[in-house]
């Protein structure tokens, strides 16, 4: 299907050209064009019978650590086979063009860093890292051991993915960085997120309250859409390179 042409309004071009501070929030949608299913998409294959909201919890891990580790191992293999798409690369280019730029991501796939973004706040952690499940132990490791349910070499507790599960607090440093960046920006881009999960979903509203203009990119409207100064309904992998080209004449 021929994608609908993307027009970048002149007001948006002027706004981004003169902006000194830009904050971006991304969700699973920006990795969709890299072949990683979003949370909203139905899980495939073996995992179709499970609800991610049920699996991504400390209760699920305590009840059946092997099931949860198998799910994450499956998702990590999807991520390992995925590559950043033009949307990820465009955001890395924008970071080079703006004085104060922060990219807040809800994704755990690490694709923004892989695409060259540096000012990244991983609000929900990273699937490539494991950490000790004991609150009293700070052990982390950035590769997955072969065992199905590996144990911490320091204290013997189970290792778990270094991600934030539902019902868990966002790491205070990451949350504070995300709030600061949302409250101190002139332009806030919300890209590929359904805006359901808190506290990430509140970040664009923090920006609006502080007087920022919001740009939203999502094929589906969200509760934020009516507050966006500019809304694009095409995929992020098509829109972001167009915006970068129009504002900074870059390919």
| Residues tagged active-site | 124
- Is residue 220 within the footprint of ligand BV8 (CB under 6 A)? yes
Nearer to ligand BV8 by Cβ, of 239 and 247: the residue is 239
Q: Which of 19, 24, 111, 164 binds ligand BV8 (CB under 6 A)?
A: 164
- Is residue 108 within the footprint of ligand BV8 (CB under 6 A)? yes
| Interface size with ligand BV8, residues (CB under 6 A) | 37
- Give Cβ neighbours of residue 91 (< 8 Å, ≥ 6 apart): 24, 26, 103, 112, 115, 117, 191, 240
Q: Which of 29, 84, 110, 204 binds ligand BV8 (CB under 6 A)?
A: 29
Q: How far is the CB of 99 from ligand BV8 (least distance, A)?
A: 26
Tell me if 30 sits within 8 A of 24, measured CB to CB.
no
Binding to ligand BV8 by CB under 6 A, coded x per residue (else -) over 123-142, reads -x------------------
Q: How far is the CB of 20 from ligand BV8 (least distance, A)?
A: 26
Query: Tokens 């699996």 — which residue?
Result: 55
Tell me if 30 sits within 8 A of 191, measured CB to CB.
yes
- Is residue 27 within the footprint of ligand BV8 (CB under 6 A)? yes
- Is residue 56 within the footprint of ligand BV8 (CB under 6 A)? yes
How far does CA 5 lie from the centroid of its chain? Answer: 26
Q: Compute the distance between CA of residue 188 and CA of residue 22 in angstroms, rounded to an integer.
A: 6
Q: How far is the CB of 116 from ligand BV8 (least distance, A)?
A: 19
Q: Compute the distance between CA of residue 133 and CA of residue 159 in angstroms, rounded to an integer.
A: 5
CA distances (Å), origin 20, targets 178, 186, 210, 243: 17, 7, 15, 17
Nearer to ligand BV8 by Cβ, of 48 and 169: the residue is 169
Q: Compute the distance between CA of residue 235 and CA of residue 244 in angstroms, rounded to an integer.
A: 15
Q: Compute the distance between CA of residue 177 and CA of residue 120 in angstroms, rounded to an integer.
A: 10
Which residue blocks in 82-187 are alpha helix, DSSP H?
A: 86-97, 111-114, 172-183
Site for ligand BV8 in 168-207 (CB under 6 A): 168-170, 192-194, 196-200
Q: How far is the CB of 108 from ligand BV8 (least distance, A)?
A: 5
Binding part of the chain for ligand BV8, among 3-11, 27-35, 58-66, 243-251 by CB under 6 A, reads 27-35
Site residues for ligand BV8 per CB under 6 A: 27-29, 32-33, 38-40, 53, 56, 106, 108, 124, 163-170, 192-194, 196-200, 217-220, 222, 235-237
């Amino acid at each position: 299907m021929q994608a609908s042409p993307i027009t970048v309004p002149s007001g948006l071009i002027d706004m981004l050209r003169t902006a000194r501070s830009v904050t971006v929030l991304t969700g699973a949608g920006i990795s969709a064009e890299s072949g990683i299913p979003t949370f909203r998409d139905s899980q495939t294959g073996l995992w179709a019978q499970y609800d991610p909201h049920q699996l991504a919890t400390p209760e699920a891990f305590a009840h059946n650590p092997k099931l949860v580790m198998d799910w994450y191992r499956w998702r990590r293999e999807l991520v390992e086979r995925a590559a950043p798409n033009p949307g990820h690369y465009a955001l890395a280019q924008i970071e080079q063009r703006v004085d104060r730029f922060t990219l807040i991501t809800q994704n755990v796939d690490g694709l923004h860093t892989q695409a060259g973004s540096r000012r990244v706040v991983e609000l929900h952690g990273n699937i490539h890292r494991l950490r000790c499940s004991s609150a009293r132990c700070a052990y982390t490791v950035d590769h997955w051991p072969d065992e199905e349910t590996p144990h911490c070499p320091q204290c013997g507790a189970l290792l778990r993915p270094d991600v934030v599960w539902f019902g868990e607090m966002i790491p205070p440093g990451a949350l504070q960085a995300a709030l600061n960046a949302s409250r101190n920006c002139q332009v806030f881009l919300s890209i590929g997120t359904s805006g359901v999960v808190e506290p990430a979903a509140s970040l664009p509203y923090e920006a609006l309250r502080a007087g920022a203009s919001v740009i939203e990119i999502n094929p589906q409207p969200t509760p934020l859409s009516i507050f966006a100064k500019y809304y694009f309904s095409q995929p992020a992998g098509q829109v972001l390179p167009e915006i970068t080209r129009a504002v900074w004449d870059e390919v």
